[in-house]
Chains A and B, each alone.
Chain A
Amino acid sequence: MSPQAGAALLVANGVSRTFKLPRGSLFGPRAERHAVRDVSLELAERGSLGIVGESGSGKTTLVRALLGLDPGAVGTVTFRGREVRPGRSSQLRWYRREAQLVLQDPLSSLDPRMKVAAIIREPLACLGVDEDHDRRIDEVLEQVGLSSAARGRYPHEFSGGQQQRIAIARAIAPRPSLLVGDEPVSALDVSVRIQILDLIRGLVDELGLSLIMISHDLGVVRYLCADVLMMKDGEVVERGNAAELLHRPTHTYTRQLVAAVPRLPVESS
């Protein structure tokens, strides 16, 4: 039975994360920093959510908690009604298959000593995916626009855009239902960036994925996401439909952020 579009996929309630700071003096009190403060959210099946904020706003920390990667966080997260957290992160193998991550810098997220085939095979093996791994590797390579000749090569032999394609191939290999991107196009040149964004958009459509996209770039988030969550200092300051929020921001911070983005002069016809 395939889940219905619109039903809740990921639900988070009261997610917070506090980090202890070093003591000011030997016996002084330990200050705390609230990296994420009481965030609740809901992502529907086949929904797409952009998490926007500047450096230090808590967007990555929030997503780590959503993925059940941060035992130090508080709050509850469920995926199709099943508990992700609290609870032991060692028991989340099912969730690792459902939710896959693509990071900003493919050169540090891809193991430089592994060939592409091995990189994509790793999650298939670790997560116990029960299908022909070799066939699956060829399939996903084709889906991200690489030929099977890429299998025997190392990450450094590829351009930045192609490396990001490899990272995406690895992410979709175990057939997840949720794809999470943490600034996946920030390190790329503009002309390559749009190709990767189009690739992600195409895959989300074709595979019926849900999407969470972390970015400091409002334009990128609007390109991919229907909804936006605007974060500042660990708190959600505004949320809503992406276009709506850009056209009529209600919070001062959102307004400042939108206004600060440089834009091209209006096209002359």
Chain B
Amino acid sequence: MSVLEVRDLTVRFGESVVVDRVSFDLDVGARLGIIGESGSGKTLTALAVIGLAPEGADVSGSVRLDGAELLGRSERELADLRGDDITMVFQSPLTSLNPLQRVGRQVAEPLRLHHGLGRAAAADEAVRWCGRVGLPDPERSAQAFPHQLSGGQRQRIGIAIALACRPRILIADEPTTALDVTVQREVLDLLDTLIAEQGTGLLFITHDIALVAQVARQLMVMRAGAVVEHGDVGDLVGRPQHDYTRQLIAAARATGLDEQDVAR
């Protein structure tokens, strides 16, 4: 049994089906990438998994965490899981962070809520996390407001908040899309190290196939709400079966860098 089992997940808005019978498993330490273009339903899939689908969405199918069904649970029960067992990193830390709160407090919040840490213990742990995610002078960084940090630093805080409670599943939705390429590399390396240490299962959502090929081991290609192809990254990129996957890869290769370009 996998930690997270998603079966025939379907999201409808009235007549229109925007996520169409999506199924996948995610285990501790596994890394699954979902790739798709705008409107493919990749983000909505993730939101539906953690019970955050927008109002008016009709979600059906099954989402099991450790065998227990999540769909249909009360908001209160879900809120208990979110930020603890399953957490999320969003694309834009400037909108996902609270602009009025010092970042240390935002890292401490889930620790107090879910792990019952006291104020001082949570604050200490938050400072430690600011260090772990590579912020300079953690004591001082924890006192900063989001706008005082750079884009990359803000996303490091987003990662600290998501990982502080040692979740079993982390959902990252385009976590580096807003960042410069050198910063993107640093943030990905950080994410990679931390989830490897903690054995977190990763669901990585992006439009960038070259990026996801570096992060994920399994890959799911979505188009118009449905999964068109699902397999190992190597197989899928090396021998794509579906025309749409072939198109995506051809486009990425044409405008990407290749072996002859300087690598790390």
Binding site for B on A (CB under 8 A): 54-55, 160, 189-194, 197, 216-220, 222-223, 246-249, 255-268
Contact = CB atoms under 8 A, between A and B. Distances in A.
B259 interface: yes
A266 B263 CA distance: 13
A220 B255 contact: yes
Majority DSSP secondary structure for residues of A touching B: helix
A265 B263 CA distance: 12
Contacts of B47: none
Nearest to A223: B255
Interface of B: 37-38, 180-185, 207-211, 213-214, 233-234, 237-239, 247-264
A202 to B, nearest CB: 14
Given A260-B182, A262-B208, A190 B252 contact: yes
Query: Which among A190, A219, A256 has the greatest number of chain B C-beta atoms within 10 A?
Result: A190
A256 B182 CA distance: 7
Contacts of B257: 218-219, 222, 246, 258, 261, 263
A262 B214 contact: yes
19 contacts: A54-B182, A55-B180, A189-B207, A191-B251, A193-B251, A194-B250, A222-B257, A247-B262, A249-B262, A255-B262, A257-B181, A258-B262, A259-B262, A260-B185, A262-B185, A262-B210, A263-B261, A268-B234, A268-B238
Contacts of A261: 181, 210, 256-257, 261
A248 B262 contact: yes
A246 B255 contact: no
Nearest to B235: A268
B213 A264 contact: yes
A190 B251 contact: yes
B262 A191 contact: no
A216 B247 contact: no
A49 B233 CA distance: 35
B182 A268 contact: no
A216 B151 CA distance: 16
B189 to A, nearest CB: 10
B213 A262 contact: yes
| A-B residue pairs, 5 tightest by C-beta | A268-B238, A189-B37, A54-B180, A260-B185, A194-B251
Given A189-B38, A247-B261, A263 B182 contact: no
A247 B37 CA distance: 30
Contacts of A219: 255-257
